[in-house]
A = this chain, B = another copy of it.
Amino acid sequence: MYYIGVDLGGTNVKIGIVNKDGKILRNISIKTKKDVTPQLFIKDISNSIKKLISDFGISTKNIGHIGIGVPGLCDNEAGVVLKAVNINFLNVNLREEMKKYFDIPVYLENDANCAALAEAKFGVSKGYKNSITITLGTGIGGGIIIDNKIYKGFNCASAELGHMSIDIKGNLCNCGRRGCFETYASATALKYQAINVVKNNKDTIIYNMVNGDINKIEARLVFNCAKKNDKVAVQIVDKYMSYLSCGIENLINILQPDIIAIGGGISNAGEYFLEKIRGLIKNSHEMAKDLDKRTKIELAKLGNDAGIIGAAFLG
């Protein structure tokens, strides 16, 4: 038996045929259509799924179910996408629409939750009952797995880890609160932290690497320069990591998961990043600090495939 995983993004829709071991056997990517009705867009996705299945030489009879990861709030019980602004979905009954084209179960779930499920089933969090996956990208995405299942909260809106405040008097966030984790610890946040430093201190290879156009600074570049021991870059990274570790320590003190997997653009900095963050994380609340068993901090393993794989294992 095979499963279809769909990673419905703001730019592309990635569709994969996944086997029971979490391997993507064949996949395609189509453009996200925002200029048509959700109904027409879903028809388009369904046709692509059908084509993928037939190109692979099987039929829908060989498909156990279809799982769809959505960049927004999903009520899987009702089969409804409550809200996904990036793809212009508001209260769209995705399951009902898909049922027009397929006679197999259709499940849906928030995309960050799918990624967390994929890591828990086949990635770095495999074998652990309670895990958190944090994605450090444009914002901060999160998924919480408790007792091997996605933890959604009663209204399907949990795990908005990026909107935990770590500074009550801090930066104003789009959400209306101050000091949200993602305004300090996303890849975007690092970019602007770097721009602000380099603006006033050009004695760094970061400045040379962007030929003086500081708006071209990206998170990856800052890490690359830090790895080369550029003093300014190291300072920027260390400051950034202090914010990141603050949020992660909060999550540990609240949930004490077996493992926290870190993915997204920032995690491409690999071992350099991992060593720094582990050095900063303390299981520091009074009661836990002498414990032998500490939450593990690891890099997420499945990268961009996590969305498809996790979606394929919904249900």
Q: State the A residues within 8 Å of B (CB).
A: 72-73, 82-83, 128-130, 144, 146-147, 151-170, 174-177, 179, 184, 242-243, 246, 249-251, 253-258, 282-291, 293-295
Contact B154 A258 (CB under 8 A): yes
Instruction: Find chain B residues with CB under 8 A from A72 CB.
Output: 287
Contact A164 B254 (CB under 8 A): yes
Contact A158 B249 (CB under 8 A): no
Instruction: Find chain B residues with CB under 8 A from A288 CB.
Output: 73, 155, 157, 160
CB distance from A78 to the nearest CB of B (A): 12
Chain A at the B interface: SS class: loop
Instruction: Find chain B residues with CB under 8 A from A157 CB.
Output: 256, 283, 285, 287-288, 291
A163, closest chain B residue (CB)? B285
Contact B282 A159 (CB under 8 A): no
Instruction: Find chain B residues with CB under 8 A from A251 CB.
Output: 254
Instruction: Please measure, in the bound complex, the distance between the C-alpha atom of A232 and the C-alpha atom of B144, giving whole angstroms.
Output: 42
Instruction: Please measure, in the bound complex, the distance between the C-alpha atom of A155 and the C-alpha atom of B165, giving whole angstroms.
Output: 25
A71, closest chain B residue (CB)? B287
CB distance from A36 to the nearest CB of B (A): 23
| Residue in B146, B174, B176, B295 whose beta carbon sits within 8 Å of that of A146 in the complex | B146
10 more contacts with CB within 8 A, not counting A82-B291, A165-B249, are: A129-B154, A154-B257, A158-B255, A160-B253, A164-B253, A165-B166, A168-B184, A168-B242, A177-B246, A254-B254
Instruction: Find chain B residues with CB under 8 A from A164 CB.
Output: 164, 250, 253-254
Instruction: Please measure, in the bound complex, the distance between the C-alpha atom of A283 and the C-alpha atom of B177, giving whole angstroms.
Output: 10
Can you sample 29 A-B contacts with CB below 8 Å? A130-B153, A146-B146, A146-B151, A147-B147, A153-B255, A154-B257, A154-B295, A155-B291, A155-B293, A155-B294, A156-B256, A157-B256, A157-B291, A158-B255, A159-B254, A160-B254, A161-B253, A161-B254, A163-B253, A163-B284, A164-B253, A165-B166, A167-B169, A168-B170, A168-B179, A168-B184, A168-B246, A176-B284, A177-B249
Sorted nearest first, the 7 A-B pairs with minimum C-beta distance are A153-B256, A163-B285, A157-B288, A158-B256, A155-B293, A160-B285, A154-B258
CB distance from A160 to the nearest CB of B (A): 4
Instruction: Find chain B residues with CB under 8 A from A242 CB.
Output: 168
Instruction: Find chain B residues with CB under 8 A from A167 CB.
Output: 166-169, 179
